[in-house]
């Protein structure tokens, strides 16, 4: 058995249901709040009153880091999901169940056992606001979700036991999904592994599936990266390729096997938006999605490409930047550069497209030939010029000045003709692989709430 960890807002029944569940499984129950009280020799209201929430969170982090790795049911405090370190400890070798309940139910339960307030808001408002703030973190924490609004503790524990034994994917659906994957270009060893996890004799119903959605996506390094991260963080998950010309068919299969998430690549970054229930603000402004998280029976789309572009540029706030290209990745780049307070000029082969993106993003724009009038500190290439097998650079060598930083978003080859020329000219350079590393890190955090150091990702990809 893996550890069973119960997450959820206060009043969703973690302690009461966890106690019943542990009894029925014949294992101990451990409540992290009780553990903090025992270890600190103070009650939680006392810690909040005499110190503050920050002190409580420190004690909580210490208690969670010391939790045993054995058969046990663990009930957690409502706010543990906000800390990536907590998530790393709690998710290891565990099946994680998110308990939810309606606001009125939570209010009624809390009135019976008052806890220290988290805000100065009236009770109902506080519950709604804190749950909304933590919504995506709770989603990241969940392997399974159980609504406890209308259940007794015995019933809720029974539901969890059912999920642990049977999972959420009925056998005929597993068979149908296995057939669907068999008809895709998934390489034979990957296909066999997936078939065995879906329908093999010893398959674990708790295994969660994720994957990259694209056509084609055989080149994607995400399966290697994510599966290695699952091993490292001891997550019972498998990452595969959803390779099909129809994004609707991919989304249907992903929903049918209760997938935890998808990385979305060409040519679906725009089309997938029509298949989602919720889209985050940045992705809506960029007009593209590269990450889908499934939770609460819904699909939530976001864009981590812009964060992957922004991260390596953190030291360039306020720079004068030229962005070459006005396509999909240029939109994410424009959003990232504007977010860093840069003065951005978009130059494109087709100036009208530069104009459209510039107007949407609050940038200046021009034609390709305007480069020599811009005198930038930073140049970002968001065109495919220099991508294998092309050997050209988007700029002439004499346009590169040693004071410039040159960021080429093209990553095949890792060192492009533009990067080679920029290094020769004495420029600082950033290669396109950096975007993949940082956007994948953000994706992993969205899927599981865990923050992977980029050194770990670099090691895996090396």
Contact present, 40 and 88 (Cβ < 8 Å): no
383 touching ligand NAP, by CB under 6 A: yes
Does 221 bind ligand NAP (CB under 6 A)? Our answer is: no
Tell me if 460 contacts ligand NAP by CB under 6 A. no
Figure out which of the listed residues 432, 442, 450, 457 binds ligand NAP, where binding follows CB under 6 A: 432
Which pair of tokens denotes residue 362?
């609050």
> Which of 97/333 has CB closer to ligand NAP?
333
Binding to ligand NAP, residues 58-97 (CB under 6 A):
none
**Closest-approach residue to ligand NAP (CB):** 327
Which member of 240, 348, 393, 443 binds ligand NAP (CB under 6 A)? Answer: 348
* Count of residues in the chain: 462
Q: Contacting ligand NAP (CB under 6 A), which of 436, 444, 447, 448? A: 436
Annotation marks residue 179 as catalytic: no
3-state helix, strand, coil in the chain (%, to 5): 50, 15, 35
Q: Are 150 and 188 in contact (CB under 8 A)?
A: no
Write the CB contacts of 446 (distance below 8 Å, at least 6 apart in sequence). Answer: 136, 140, 261, 291, 293, 302, 304
Q: Of the candidates 334, 385, 395, 421, which one interacts with ligand NAP according to CB under 6 A?
A: 385
Which helix (H) or strand (E) covers residue 208, if one does?
strand 208-214
410 scored as a contact of ligand NAP (CB under 6 A)? yes
Could you give the CA distance from residue 188 to residue 132 in angstroms, rounded to a whole number?
43
Q: Select from 84, 116, 200, 384 the one that contacts ligand NAP (CB under 6 A).
A: 384
> Could you tell me which stretch among 15-23, 113-121, 175-183, 343-351 binds ligand NAP (CB under 6 A)?
343-351
The CA-based dihedral angle spanning residues 35, 40, 42, 45, taken in that order and rounded to the nearest 10 degrees: -70
Minimum CB separation from ligand NAP for residue 459, in Å?
19
Site for ligand NAP in 20-49 (CB under 6 A): none
Binding to ligand NAP by residue 141, rule CB under 6 A?
A: no
- Residues in binding contact with ligand NAP, number by CB under 6 A: 22
Strands 261-264 and 291-295: antiparallel
Nearest-angstrom CA–CA distance, 111 and 127: 12
Alpha carbon of 13 to those of 144, 172, 328, 416: distances in Å? Answer: 15, 33, 45, 55
Verify binding: residue 306, ligand NAP, rule CB under 6 A. no
- CA–CA separation, 152 and 68 (whole Å): 29
Nearer to ligand NAP, 254 or 410 (CB): 410
Among residues 198 and 286, whose Cβ is nearest to ligand NAP? Answer: 286
Q: DSSP string spanning 220-253?
A: -SHHHHHHHHHHHTT--EEEEEEE-S-HHHHHHH
**Which of the 8 DSSP states describes residue 205?**
T
Among 50, 179, 260, 269, the active-site one is 269
Which three-class secondary structure state does DSSP give residue 451? coil
* CB-nearer residue toward ligand NAP: 100 or 361: 361
- Judge contact between 29 and 21, C-beta under 8 A: yes
Nearer to ligand NAP, 248 or 350 (CB): 350
Rounded to 10 degrees, what is the CA torsion of 89, 210, 256, 137? 40
- Residue window 312-331: x/- pattern of binding to ligand NAP, with contact defined by CB under 6 A: -------------xxxxxx-
Q: Which stretch binds ligand NAP (CB under 6 A): 74-82, 177-185, 242-250, 342-350?
A: 342-350
Contact call for residue 382 and ligand NAP (CB under 6 A): yes
Residues assigned a catalytic role? 269
- List contacts with ligand NAP (CB under 6 A): 305, 325-330, 348-350, 353, 382-385, 387, 409-411, 432, 435-436
């Amino acid at each position: 058995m893996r550890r069973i960890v119960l997450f959820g807002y206060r009043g969703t029944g973690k302690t009461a249901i966890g106690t019943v569940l542990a009894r029925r499984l014949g294992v101990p129950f451990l409540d992290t709040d009780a553990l903090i009280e025992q270890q600190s020799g103070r009650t939680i209201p006392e810690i909040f009153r005499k110190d503050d929430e920050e002190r409580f969170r420190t004690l909580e982090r210490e208690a969670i880091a010391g939790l045993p790795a054995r058969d046990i049911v663990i009930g957690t405090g409502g706010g543990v999901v906000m800390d990536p370190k907590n998530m790393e400890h709690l998710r290891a070798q565990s099946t994680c169940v998110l308990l939810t309940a309606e606001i009125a139910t939570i209010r009624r339960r809390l009135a019976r056992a008052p806890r220290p307030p988290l805000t100065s808001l009236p009770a109902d408002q506080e519950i709604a606001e804190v749950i909304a703030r933590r919504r995506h973190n709770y989603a990241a924490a969940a392997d399974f979700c159980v609504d406890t609004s209308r259940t007794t503790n015995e019933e809720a524990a029974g539901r969890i036991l059912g999920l642990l034994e049977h999972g959420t994917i009925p056998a005929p659906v597993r068979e149908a999904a296995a057939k669907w994957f068999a008809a895709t270009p998934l390489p034979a060893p990957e296909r066999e592994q997936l078939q065995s996890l879906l329908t093999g004799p010893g398959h674990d119903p708790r295994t969660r599936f994720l994957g990259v959605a694209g056509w084609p996506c055989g080149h994607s390094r995400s399966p290697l990266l994510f599966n290695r991260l699952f091993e490292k963080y001891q997550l019972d998950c498998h990452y595969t390729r959803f390779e099909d010309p129809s994004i609707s068919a991919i989304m249907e299969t992903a929903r049918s096997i209760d997938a935890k998430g998808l990385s979305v690549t060409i040519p679906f970054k725009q089309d997938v938006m029509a298949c989602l229930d919720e889209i985050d603000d940045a992705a809506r402004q960029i007009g593209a999605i590269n990450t889908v998280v499934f939770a609460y029976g819904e699909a939530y789309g976001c864009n981590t490409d812009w964060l992957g572009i922004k991260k390596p540029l953190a030291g360039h706030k306020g720079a004068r930047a030229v962005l070459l290209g006005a396509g999909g990745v240029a939109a994410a780049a424009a959003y990232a550069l504007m977010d860093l307070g840069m003065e951005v000029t978009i130059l494109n082969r087709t100036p009208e497209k530069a104009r459209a993106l510039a107007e949407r993003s609050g940038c200046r724009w021009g034609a390709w030939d305007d480069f020599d009038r811009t005198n930038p500190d930073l140049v970002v290439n968001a065109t495919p010029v220099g991508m294998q097998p092309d050997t050209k650079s988007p700029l002439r060598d004499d346009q590169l000045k040693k004071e410039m930083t040159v960021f080429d978003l093209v990553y095949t080859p890792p060192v492009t003709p533009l990067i080679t020329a920029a290094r020769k000219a004495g420029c600082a350079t950033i290669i396109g692989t950096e975007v993949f590393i940082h956007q994948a890190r953000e994706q992993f955090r969205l899927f599981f709430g865990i923050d992977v150091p980029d050194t770990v990702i670099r090691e895996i990809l090396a």
